[in-house]
Structure 1
Amino acid sequence: MKKFISFLSRIFILLTALELTSCGYGALELFHHGDFVDERADQMKELYQGRVGPTFASLSGTYTFVIFTDPHYGSKRSENIDEDEFLEWMDGLPSDQSPKFCVCLGDIAERGERKEFLKYCDFVEKIESRGIPVLNIVGNHDLFNSGWDDFADLCFPYTSFYRFKSSAFSFYALDTGSGSLGPKQFKKLKSAMQSDPRPKIVFSHYPIYGSGMYGLSYYCLQNEEESTRVITLFEEEGVTDVYAGHVHHHQSKELGDYTERCFDTLFNQEWALVTVNEATGKTSTKTIRK
Structure 2
Amino acid sequence: MPNSCRRFGCLGLIIFLTAGCEIDPRALLSHPDVDKRVRESLNLLNSPPSFPDDTIRFAVFGDLHIGKPAGCYWQDFLIVACSLRLNFFCVAGDLTDHGTDAEFDSVANLFLQTGLTYFVTLGNHDLYRHNSWEYYKERFGPSCYAQKINNRLKLIFLDTGEGRLGAVQFNWLEQELTTPPARTIIITHFPLYDDQTPTIFRLSSNAERAKLQSLMQQFNVFAICSGHIHGFRHYQLGGINHFTIGTMNRALDFGKPGFLLFTCLP
TM-score, scaled relative to structure 2:
0.85
Question: Could you tell me which residue of structure 1 aligns to residue 57 of structure 2?
Answer: 64
Q: Secondary structure at the match of 1:235?
A: helix
In structure 2, C-alpha distance between the alignment counterparts of 1:82 and 1:99, rounded to whole Å: 17
Q: Do residues 126 (structure 1) and 113 (structure 2) align?
A: yes
Q: Secondary structure at the match of 1:214?
A: coil
Q: Secondary structure at the match of 1:64?
A: strand
Letter in 1 for 2:74: E
> Which 4+ runs in 1 deviate beyond 6 A?
46-49
Question: Could you tell me which residue of structure 2 aligns to residue 159 of structure 1?
Answer: 142
| Equivalent residues of 1:44, 1:163 under 8 A apart | no
**Root-mean-square deviation (Å):** 2.5
Specify which of 13, 17, 23 is matched with residue 25 of structure 1.
23
In structure 1, stretches of 5+ residues that fail to align are 1-10, 279-290
Correspondence 1:1-290 to 2 at 5 A: 15=13, 17-18=15-16, 20-21=18-19, 24-30=22-28, 32=29, 34-42=31-39, 45=42, 50=47, 53-55=48-50, 58=51, 60-77=53-70, 79=71, 81-93=72-84, 98-128=85-115, 132-146=116-130, 147-155=132-140, 158-166=141-149, 167-196=151-180, 198-209=182-193, 213-216=196-199, 218-268=200-250, 269-278=257-266
Q: Secondary structure at the match of 1:188?
A: helix
In structure 1, C-alpha distance between the alignment counterparts of 2:162 and 2:181, rounded to whole Å: 29
Higher helix share: 1
Q: Secondary structure at the match of 1:254?
A: strand
In structure 2, C-alpha distance between the alignment counterparts of 1:110 and 1:176, rounded to whole Å: 16
Q: Secondary structure at the match of 2:222?
A: strand
Structure 1 residue 46: deviation in Å? 9.3
In structure 2, C-alpha distance between the alignment counterparts of 1:47 and 1:277, rounded to whole Å: 30
| Equivalent residues of 2:44, 2:142 under 8 A apart | no
| Equivalent residues of 2:40, 2:142 under 8 A apart | no
Structure 1 residue 12: deviation in Å? 9.5
Letter in 2 for 1:221: L
Structure 1 residue 169: deviation in Å? 1.8
In structure 2, C-alpha distance between the alignment counterparts of 1:181 and 1:33, rounded to whole Å: 18
Question: Could you tell me which residue of structure 2 aligns to residue 287 of structure 1?
Answer: none
Structure 1 residue 33: deviation in Å? 6.6
In structure 2, C-alpha distance between the alignment counterparts of 1:42 and 1:273, rounded to whole Å: 31
In structure 1, C-alpha distance between the alignment counterparts of 2:106 and 2:12, rounded to whole Å: 30
| Equivalent residues of 1:242, 1:261 under 8 A apart | yes
Q: Secondary structure at the match of 2:259?
A: strand
Equivalences, count: 250
In structure 2, stretches of 5+ residues that fail to align are 1-8, 251-256
Structure 1 residue 238: deviation in Å? 1.6
In structure 2, C-alpha distance between the alignment counterparts of 1:163 and 1:136, rounded to whole Å: 11
